[in-house]
RNA sequence: GCCCCCGUGGCGGAAUUGGUAGACGCGCCUGACUCAAAAUCAGGUUUCCUCACGGAAGUGUUGGUUCGAGUCCGACCGGGGGCACCA
């Protein structure tokens, strides 16, 4: 089988080419999907994560937007005023890379890609309101972003800070913590370096507690995503404790503040450890070349996971002693250590080797005492010198804490520390502030000006937007804005003296942190959005996208919404009421004998299930199904599929078989199967249409048995498919539609009531497939004689009376094993059920003359005879 | 290492949440139509025993709870994801 799809051209076929183009034009001409605020109607905001205009749409987009479109069209039919917009996440590094490689300006490259992808999306027949289209690289968009940033700055939510930052050596820019995955840049995969720079930060930690606690209320979010965010925010309870420092002569060196989650083990302290980047260490290093060397050595050690795991604990003894806050006269040595992170807590810890693995390793290496202060609750003896005891237990060797369990000891010791004024109970978050400066061109300029006399000053409102200059060069690495001859030279808005414009641009995750708000009034020039419009449409009722944004984009958006609330732009807390994360689109991988990857078009399946290369018939190794990616060449172009099979086929295949949250394997057979079903539907409907009563024929007074059976199937389909769509069980909805189609196909419409029921069934069927295969549905709706558009027609309502059967099939079990089934009237009394079951010959044979000990009857379900 | 999710036919997956396991689709097999093929239509398709009627086993392994377990509980094995020197 060649993987080049060949849709055979036989007569009497559904011509999807003409039909899809026809209805797309009708929808566009009539502005069917244009949304307008209407306070009299309930709204529903459906949004799929907007694409980065990388060049062409891929199958992941097709899946994402198909799912969103099913929801949008369904909700629309259910009577909601639906907002379903589309835009472009248009700033980003690929545009700059293209500029360097292909000598094309990022702006040109981006807008050309947008044009291409827009055409592609339109060919999918999505129910989008294109009048709200936006691109984040448009100054009419990012001017509002600059203004909001200035407001946040004024409100203390944005600040500049010198700190050790993550530097991506390939992209030549800093990265936020969220963008470092296992010590590597999220885009480039290059090991991240440490650099000390002054950068802009947004105070996401200000909302740490709220961002965490509100997760519980996001009931329509996947549990998995909420969990990932909770872990990322990483709340831990503990205490900050102050230790008085002296040198050997007893001279006061101030207080050292440490953070611990185990204040209950304070009596087991045997050393203090400071991060190599701790200010105190920096101070001491000034006159200590050995310490300088140690600090430099620590800096060299990478942050990559593998390195961290194998790196040996290293310490450098400082000329200091720390006075134990609870044990007068007891002092412990102070070290600088490579395993203490400056970014977490206070950058300093107390070492308790008995009950912490790292401290144990460190103490063993440097010969420090290992004290046991917690014992197993069951009295088991342990060798604390051999291994630390990390579990909970009973506190020992700890003065007033002795005999308490760990939790109780924590509260007692915190209370004592607070009483004495040497510590306090605190909550520590893993979450760090969001570093938003990027040393790149193709992003939103940060609206700030550096003046030698006035410091860093905001760009005045009247000068917004700060627009990117077009005349930039990409002939060498570094930030083109920084080397632009004139752009950065401006007068200080405060004193008028020559000053320098900020040349960093914003992290592009800012662009995507509020675009859903902008969609509510995309043309407004005076503000990011109109309050009334925004209040009507927001929050997004259903957001759909990839799980890879579980932390980055989704957490940033939740932060941005809160920052806007802080500056009184909105009163909302959360942007997304419902979230759905769809799975990836995968495909088999193919490898030629020389090890190179082959595309699905370059291979052919031959006799015996073997695969060969088309060009030279050489054998091909078939690899496991993986996410479609250019590097492995296992990609299928949506354009080609839509051209050869039509948008409805692509959409149908995307929805069938695999549950939407799971990975989907793209197969040629699956697509042709979906295509055949479209054709079959067209045939079934066309055949059934002959001899049907015209639309609007009055309902017959009585129905034949066949007619009633068909009507039951139809109305059960409505109920089932509605539930399935609401629950995102599109694959189940598809299965039900297959069943319903099979039922319709098997009906012989001989009497008038069956003919009426057949028309009813067809009309229902067409409306049910509407959200999934809208073009075919619209075509059949038209063929059924309707003047209005299906897209404007309401969702069918099931007749409750037809949803329940009068007879039910009840299973008969003997000792829990199926022996047969009986037909009973619905809700038949238990004794009737029992009697009928016992009369079943298969049961009697199994009983073999024995008397039942007990009979369990579950109405309408099962009769279990126990012997 | 810690946290979370998932293991069902040849394949993708259903199973009203403790009540007839394998819906629906793909693939495969048989038949019809055809000179033939494609397309289409009809039938079959968990495994094993049986010509058949029937019967037995069966949801990663294993133990338990229950009249009854794919579903609940314990242990283990396998796969995937997130976090990770976070004190």
Protein residue with the closest CA to the C1' atom of nucleotide B4? A224
Protein residue with the closest CA to the C1' atom of nucleotide B21? A818
Protein residue with the closest CA to the C1' atom of nucleotide B15? A732
| Å from the A338 CA to the B85 C1' | 9
| Å from the A80 CA to the B22 C1' | 38
Mean per-residue pLDDT, A814-821 = 87
| Å from the A814 CA to the B63 C1' | 24
Mean per-residue pLDDT, A467-471 = 96
ipTM of the complex: 0.94
Instruction: Give the nearest nucleotide to A812, CA to C1'.
Output: B20
d(CA A86, CA A45): 12
Phi and psi angles of residue A793, each rounded to the nearest 5 degrees, phi first: -95, 150
Instruction: Give the nearest nucleotide to A306, CA to C1'.
Output: B84
pLDDT at A694: 87
Please count the other Cβ atoms lying within 10 Å of the Cβ belonging to residue A426.
16
| Å from the A584 CA to the B27 C1' | 23
Instruction: Give the nearest nucleotide to A810, CA to C1'.
Output: B20
Instruction: Give the nearest nucleotide to A344, CA to C1'.
Output: B86
pLDDT at A509 over 60: yes
pLDDT at A608: 61
| Å from the A311 CA to the B2 C1' | 19
* pLDDT tens per residue, range A38-55: 999 999 999 999 999 999
Protein residue with the closest CA to the C1' atom of nucleotide B3? A231
Higher pLDDT, A310 or A299: A299
* pLDDT tens per residue, range A217-245: 999 999 899 999 999 999 998 999 999 99
Residues sharing a CB contact under 8 Å with residue A200, sequence separation 6 or more, in sequence order = A158, A159, A160, A435, A436, A437, A446, A448, A504
pLDDT at A848: 72
Residue A537 class from Cβ within 10 Å (0-12 exposed, 13-18 middle, 19+ buried)? buried
Instruction: Give the nearest nucleotide to A350, CA to C1'.
Output: B87
Task: Choose among A362, A371, A346: nearest CA to A239.
Answer: A346
Residues sharing a CB contact under 8 Å with residue A9, sequence separation 6 or more, in sequence order = none
Instruction: Give the nearest nucleotide to A357, CA to C1'.
Output: B85
Per-position DSSP letters for A704-745, written without gaps between them:
-HHHHHHHHHHHHHHHHHHHHHHTT-HHHHHHHHHHHHHHHH
Instruction: Give the nearest nucleotide to A861, CA to C1'.
Output: B19
| Å from the A692 CA to the B78 C1' | 57
* A236, A421 contact by CB (below 8 A): no
| Å from the A662 CA to the B7 C1' | 14
Task: Choose among A179, A242, A236: nearest CA to A212.
Answer: A236
Instruction: Give the nearest nucleotide to A864, CA to C1'.
Output: B67
Instruction: Give the nearest nucleotide to A816, CA to C1'.
Output: B68
pLDDT at A3: 35
Task: Choose among A48, A127, A124, A122: nearest CA to A80.
Answer: A127
Instruction: Give the nearest nucleotide to A239, CA to C1'.
Output: B87
Residues sharing a CB contact under 8 Å with residue A171, sequence separation 6 or more, in sequence order = A93, A185, A187, A188, A190, A440
Q: What percent of chain A has pLDDT over 90?
A: 68
| Å from the A825 CA to the B54 C1' | 29
| Å from the A381 CA to the B73 C1' | 31
pLDDT at A2: 33
pLDDT at A6 over 60: no
Mean per-residue pLDDT, A716-732 = 95
Mean per-residue pLDDT, A267-271 = 95
| Å from the A644 CA to the B41 C1' | 25
| Å from the A847 CA to the B31 C1' | 41
Indicate the pLDDT class of residue A11, thresholds 50, 70 and 90.
very low
Per-position DSSP letters for A41-76, written without gaps between them:
S-EEEEEEPPPP-SSS--HHHHHHHHHHHHHHHHHH
Contact positions of strand B to protein Cβ (< 7 A): 3-5, 12-16, 19-21, 23-27, 38-42, 55-57, 67-69, 81-87
pLDDT at A372: 94
Average pLDDT taken over every residue of chain A: 91
| R_g over Cα of chain A | 34
| Å from the A608 CA to the B28 C1' | 13
pTM of the model: 0.93
pLDDT at A311 over 80: no
State how far the alpha carbon of A51 is from the alpha carbons of A127, A461, A493, A546, A556, in Å. 16, 30, 37, 11, 17
Mean per-residue pLDDT, A505-532 = 97
pLDDT at A850 over 70: yes
| Å from the A818 CA to the B67 C1' | 13
**Which of A306-315, A562-571, A634-643, A774-783 has the least mean pLDDT?**
A306-315
| Å from the A307 CA to the B83 C1' | 17
Instruction: Give the nearest nucleotide to A734, CA to C1'.
Output: B24
Higher pLDDT, A382 or A526: A526
Protein residue with the closest CA to the C1' atom of nucleotide B66? A816
Query: Hey, which residues does A162 pair with through a beta bridge?
Result: A198
State how far the alpha carbon of A473 is from the alpha carbons of A105, A172, A445, A782, in Å. 9, 16, 17, 56
pLDDT at A504 over 70: yes
* pLDDT tens per residue, range A95-151: 998 998 899 999 999 999 999 999 999 999 999 999 999 999 999 999 999 999 999
Indicate the pLDDT class of residue A12, thresholds 50, 70 and 90.
low
* pLDDT tens per residue, range A390-420: 888 899 999 999 999 888 999 999 999 999 9
* pLDDT tens per residue, range A596-630: 888 888 888 776 667 888 888 888 888 878 888 88
Protein residue with the closest CA to the C1' atom of nucleotide B69? A816
Protein residue with the closest CA to the C1' atom of nucleotide B40? A680
pLDDT at A647: 96
d(CA A405, CA A398): 12
Residues sharing a CB contact under 8 Å with residue A23, sequence separation 6 or more, in sequence order = A125, A774, A775, A778, A779
pLDDT at A798 over 50: yes
| Å from the A727 CA to the B70 C1' | 22
Task: Choose among A235, A256, A234: nearest CA to A350.
Answer: A256
* pLDDT tens per residue, range A519-572: 999 999 999 999 999 999 999 999 999 988 889 999 999 999 999 999 999 999
pLDDT at A310: 63
Protein residue with the closest CA to the C1' atom of nucleotide B5? A224
Indicate the pLDDT class of residue A695, thresholds 50, 70 and 90.
confident
């Amino acid at each position: 089988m060649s993987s080049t799809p060949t849709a055979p051209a036989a007569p009497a076929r559904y011509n999807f080419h003409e039909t899809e183009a026809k209805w797309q034009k009708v929808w566009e001409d009539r502005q069917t999907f244009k949304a307008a605020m209407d306070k009299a109607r309930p709204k529903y905001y459906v949004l799929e994560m907007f694409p980065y205009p990388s060049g062409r749409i891929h199958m992941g987009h097709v899946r994402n937007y198909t799912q969103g479109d099913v929801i949008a069209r369904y909700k629309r039919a259910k009577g909601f005023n639906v907002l379903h917009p589309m835009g472009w996440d248009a700033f980003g590094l690929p545009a700059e890379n293209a500029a360097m490689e292909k000598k094309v300006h990022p702006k040109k490259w981006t807008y050309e890609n947008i044009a291409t992808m827009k055409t592609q999306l339109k060919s999918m027949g999505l129910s989008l309101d294109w009048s709200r289209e936006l691109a984040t690289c448009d100054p009419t968009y990012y001017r509002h972003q600059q203004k909001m940033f200035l407001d946040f700055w004024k409100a203390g939510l944005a600040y500049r800070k010198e700190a050790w930052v993550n530097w991506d050596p390939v992209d030549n820019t800093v990265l936020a913590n969220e963008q470092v995955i296992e010590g590597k840049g999220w885009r480039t995969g290059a090991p991240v370096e440490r650099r000390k720079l002054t950068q802009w930060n947004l105070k996401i930690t200000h909302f740490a507690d709220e961002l965490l606690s509100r997760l519980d209320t996001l009931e329509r979010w996947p549990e998995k995503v909420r969990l990932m965010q909770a872990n990322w925010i990483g709340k831990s309870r503990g205490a900050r404790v102050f230790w008085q420092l002296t040198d050997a002569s007893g001279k006061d060196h101030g207080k050292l503040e440490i953070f611990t989650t185990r204040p209950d083990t304070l009596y087991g302290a045997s050393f203090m450890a400071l991060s190599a980047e701790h200010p105190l260490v920096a101070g001491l290093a000034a006159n200590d070349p050995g310490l300088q060397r140690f600090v430099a050595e620590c800096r060299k050690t990478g942050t990559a996971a593998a390195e961290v795991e194998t790196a040996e604990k290293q310490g450098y003894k400082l000329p200091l002693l720390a006075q134990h806050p609870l044990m007068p006269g007891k002092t412990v040595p102070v070290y600088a250590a490579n395993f203490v992170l400056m970014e977490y807590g206070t950058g300093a810890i107390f070492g308790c080797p008995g009950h912490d693995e790292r401290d144990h390793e460190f103490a063993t290496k440097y010969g420090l005492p290992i004290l046991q202060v917690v014992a197993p609750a069951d009295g088991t003896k342990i060798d604390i010198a051999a291994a630390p005891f990390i579990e909970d237990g009973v506190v020992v060797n700890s003065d007033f804490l002795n005999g308490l369990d760990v939790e109780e000891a924590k509260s007692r010791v915190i209370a004592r520390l607070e009483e004495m004024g040497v510590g306090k109970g605190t909550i520590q978050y893993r979450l760090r502030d969001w570093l938003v400066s990027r040393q790149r061109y193709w992003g939103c300029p940060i609206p700030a000006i550096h003046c030698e006399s006035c410091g860093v000053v905001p760009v005045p409102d009247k000068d917004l937007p700060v627009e990117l200059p077009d005349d930039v060069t990409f002939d060498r690495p570094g930030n083109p804005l920084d080397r632009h001859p004139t752009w950065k030279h401006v007068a200080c808005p405060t004193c008028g003296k020559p000053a320098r414009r900020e040349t960093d641009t914003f992290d592009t995750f800012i662009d995507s942190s509020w675009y859903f708000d902008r969609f509510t009034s995309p043309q407004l020039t005076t503000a990011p959005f109109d309050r009334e419009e925004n209040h009507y449409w927001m929050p997004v009722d259903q957001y759909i996208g990839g799980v890879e944004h579980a932390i980055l984009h989704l957490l940033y958006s939740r932060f941005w919404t809160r920052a806007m609330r802080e500056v009184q732009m909105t009163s909302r807390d959360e942007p997304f009421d419902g979230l759905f994360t769809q799975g990836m689109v995968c495909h088999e991988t193919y490898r030629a004998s020389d090890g190179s990857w082959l595309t699905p078009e370059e291979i052919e399946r031959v006799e015996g299930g073997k695969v060969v290369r088309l060009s030279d018939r050489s054998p091909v190794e078939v690899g496991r199904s993986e996410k479609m990616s250019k590097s492995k060449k296992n990609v299928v172009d949506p354009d080609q599929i839509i051209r050869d099979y039509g948008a409805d086929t692509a959409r149908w295949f995307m929805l069938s078989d695999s549950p939407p949250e799971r990975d989907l394997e793209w197969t040629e057979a699956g697509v042709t199967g979906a295509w055949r079903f479209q054709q079959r539907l067209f045939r079934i409907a066309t055949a059934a249409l002959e001899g049907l009563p015209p639309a609007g024929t009055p309902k017959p007074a009585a129905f034949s048995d066949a007619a009633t059976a068909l009507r039951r199937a139809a109305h059960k389909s409505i109920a089932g498919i509605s539930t399935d769509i609401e629950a995102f069980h599109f694959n189940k909805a598809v299965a039900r539609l297959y069943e319903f189609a099979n039922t319709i196909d098997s009906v012989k419409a001989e009497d008038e009531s069956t003919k009426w029921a057949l028309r009813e069934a067809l009309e229902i069927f067409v409306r049910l497939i509407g959200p999934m295969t809208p073009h075919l549905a619209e075509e059949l709706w038209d063929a059924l004689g309707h003047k209005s558009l299906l897209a404007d027609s309401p969702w069918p309502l099931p007749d409750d009376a037809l949803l329940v059967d009068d007879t039910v099939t009840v299973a008969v079990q003997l000792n829990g094993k199926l022996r047969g089934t009986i037909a009973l009237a619905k809700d038949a009394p238990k004794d009737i059920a029992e009697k009928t079951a016992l009369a079943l010959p298969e049961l009697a044979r199994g009983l073999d003359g024995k008397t039942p000990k007990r009979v369990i009857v579950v109405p309408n379900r099962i009769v279990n005879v126990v012997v």
